[in-house]
Structure 1
Amino acid sequence: MAHELVDLTPQQPSLPVGREQTDLIGEVSAVELPQTVIEVVEEYDRVVADRDTFLWKWIHSLFDAFTLSSVDARDVDRVKEIKTLFTVFITTLDDLVESHDDKATFEEARRVVRDPETVDPTREGVNGEILEFIQDIWTDIDDGLRTAPRYGEFKDIFMYDLRQGFNAMEYTRLVSDNAHIANATGARTYDAHNMVLFPYTDIDLMFSSRFAMDDLSSLRDLTWDLQKMARIGNWVTTWERELTEGDYSAGVIVQAIQDDVVDADELDPAGDLESIVERIKECGVEEAFLDEWCDRHKRVCEREYDIESVDVSAYIGGMETVMEYHLASRGMK
């Protein structure tokens, strides 16, 4: 089924009909998180405290837009709760790499998922307090997923897709430590998995009793395109923060390096970042990525997908909402 196109050009990005940008931000700020999420966020603020609560409210409210229509009605709120907890989990691991350059704790945290019996909080260089937080939140997520009616069918797929998210974080660290390897193809191929749209979708499918497995191949094909669109929205609205944190893997920065707007040797958090930011803004890299988003959006809207058990139009529309939220909340997450 095809999807009706909306106008989301780089010059005049479309915001939700009837709402101004300030209204949208106000709505997100007023979101009430589930009690289980509030408790985890409070512990996050005590142990990590890298992100404002706005981010968790932002993603929790967005799940209304891009949760698959196939999710059983009785489980929609539970699915949103699990995916918000999962977002805190994945963001904490991501920040270990991006913000803290803490490879030891990151490597140990990955074991929490793949080899929990080997986790050692006393291993050299490991932040035991953060690791304990990660273990606790993963236990909550895992317990929630095991209640899903189709957990067994999608567990292996979910774990594989989660590993791709970990690999994307590892790629981020690699590029930040070796800026000369930055290239646009690598950013689009590896870094897109940082959006974890595939794991989000897997969680939805675990709670979709009427989803037809014959639709899975086409659904994942569509998810590839939508994940790349989500990555573009994140890139164009967070690259300045990431530049100050020493993370040079964002597509905007990578493209600027590849286009010789910025020399890799200039990239230093202690350097003249204001000059670098201005050059990147003036060279049109952001506009080119927004054009790419629009091209990808046009293609997914025009393509016919052989999917019957999921509302494709709603799924694509959810990614439009994600982009609108990205643009409206620039610099706030």
Structure 2
Amino acid sequence: MAHELVELTPQQPSLPIEPEQTDLIGEVTAVELPETVREFVAQYEEVFTDRDTFLWKWIHSLFDAFTLSSVDDRDVHDVKEIKTLFTVFITSLDDLIESHDDQETFDEARRVVRDPETVDASRDGVNTEVIEFIDDLWTHIDERLRSSPRYGEFKDIFEYDLRQGFNAMEYTRLVSDNAHIANATGARTYDAHNMVLFPYTDIDLMFSTGFALEDLSDLRDLTWDLQKMARIGNWVTTWERELTEGDYSAGVIVQAIQDDIVAADELDPAGDLEDVAERIKECGVEEAFLDEWCQRHKRVCEREYDIESVDVGAYIGGMETVMEYHLASRGMK
């Protein structure tokens, strides 16, 4: 079934939105998070200081755009809340390894998904308070997922996709600690999973009683492209902050290294990172990624998908909204 969206010409690719003409920041700031989300966010803020409440409001409001149309109407509100809580969970693990360089606590936190009976918050080198928070949060998420009508069908897929998210976090740490291995192929292949679009989609499918399994292969094929588009949006709007934090895995920075715009040896928090950032801006690395986003967008819009039980056009349109939100909130998350 073909779905036609925005027409883009190869000679003049353009973003399908104009973020400077929007008032998305005010809209996001005004979002009221559900009570359960607010409670876990308050607990997050007791053990982490990395993220502002804006991030949780940002993603919560975005789920209206890219939740699959197949989700049962009665469950849309719950799915949105569960995915926001899942975002707090996955971000907490990302903070551990990216911002705190706490491999021991990260390794323990991963166990709560696959081997919860082995979790030991008192293990040497582990932040007990953080593990207790993450364990409580995951237990709540897991209980709600188990109540979904198709949990058993998608559980293994969800857990596999979640492990890819964990792997992306470790790849981020590896590149930041070993900038000489940075390469564009690795960033696009491994780091894209940090967007966890596959787990988000799996959660949707658990609550989609009308979804046809024969559509799953094509849906996941499309999700690969959309996840890479989401990653580009994140890269071009967060790389400057990540550069100052010692995280050199963002695609913009990796591409600048590979193109010899900057040298890996220059990526030192004690060095002149302002000069590094300026050179990256002047050489058009961001513009190249935005062009790539446009070309990917064009391809997914033109391609025919043999999917009947999900509105493909709405799913692709959701990624346009994600990009709009990324550009409008540059430097705020």
Q: TM-score, normalised by structure 1?
A: 0.96
Could you tell which deviates more after superposition, 42-51 or 204-213? Answer: 42-51
Deviation (angstroms), 1:278: 0.3
Correspondence for 1:284:
284
Once residues 246 and 64 of structure 2 are traced to their aligned partners in structure 1, the CA distance between those partners, rounded to angstroms, is 33
Correspondence for 2:3:
2
- Contact residue 10 and residue 290 of structure 1 kept, 8 A: no
Note if 1:328 corresponds to 2:331.
no
5 Å-filtered alignment, 1:292-311, equals 292-311=292-311
- Report the secondary structure of 1:106's partner residue: helix
5 Å-filtered alignment, 1:131-170, equals 131-170=131-170
Correspondence for 2:316:
316
Correspondence for 1:245:
245
Once residues 37 and 3 of structure 1 are traced to their aligned partners in structure 2, the CA distance between those partners, rounded to angstroms, is 36
Correspondence for 1:130:
130
Deviation (angstroms), 1:39: 0.3
- CA distance 1:287–1:245, change in 2 (3 Å): same
Correspondence for 2:38:
38
Between Structure 1 and Structure 2, how many residues are aligned? Answer: 330
Q: Deviations over 1:54-82 (max 9, x none)?
A: 00000000000000000000000000000
- CA distance 1:120–1:10, change in 2 (3 Å): farther
- CA distance 1:34–1:184, change in 2 (3 Å): same
- Report the secondary structure of 2:210's partner residue: coil
Once residues 300 and 292 of structure 1 are traced to their aligned partners in structure 2, the CA distance between those partners, rounded to angstroms, is 12
Q: Where do 5+ consecutive residues of structure 1 fail to align?
A: none
Query: What percentage of residue pairs aligned between the two structures are identical?
Result: 82
Correspondence for 1:15:
18
Query: 1:28 corresponds to which letter in structure 2?
Result: V
- Contact residue 164 and residue 193 of structure 2 kept, 8 A: yes
Query: 2:6 corresponds to which letter in structure 1?
Result: L
Could you tell which deviates more after superposition, 182-191 or 46-55? Answer: 46-55
Q: CA RMSD in A?
A: 1.5
- Contact residue 8 and residue 298 of structure 2 kept, 8 A: no
Poorly superposed stretches of 4+, deviation over 2 Å = 6-13
Q: Deviations over 1:181-201 (max 9, x none)?
A: 000000000000000000000
Query: 1:15 corresponds to which letter in structure 2?
Result: E
Correspondence for 1:215:
215
Deviation (angstroms), 1:10: 7.8
Query: 2:183 corresponds to which letter in structure 1?
Result: N
- CA distance 1:305–1:33, change in 2 (3 Å): same
- Report the secondary structure of 2:190's partner residue: helix
Correspondence for 1:254:
254
Note if 1:96 corresponds to 2:130.
no
5 Å-filtered alignment, 1:162-241, equals 162-241=162-241
- Report the secondary structure of 2:17's partner residue: coil
- Report the secondary structure of 1:262's partner residue: coil
Q: TM-score, normalised by structure 2?
A: 0.96
Once residues 74 and 324 of structure 1 are traced to their aligned partners in structure 2, the CA distance between those partners, rounded to angstroms, is 28
Once residues 14 and 85 of structure 1 are traced to their aligned partners in structure 2, the CA distance between those partners, rounded to angstroms, is 28
Query: 1:14 corresponds to which letter in structure 2?
Result: I
Correspondence for 1:26:
26
Deviation (angstroms), 1:3: 2.6
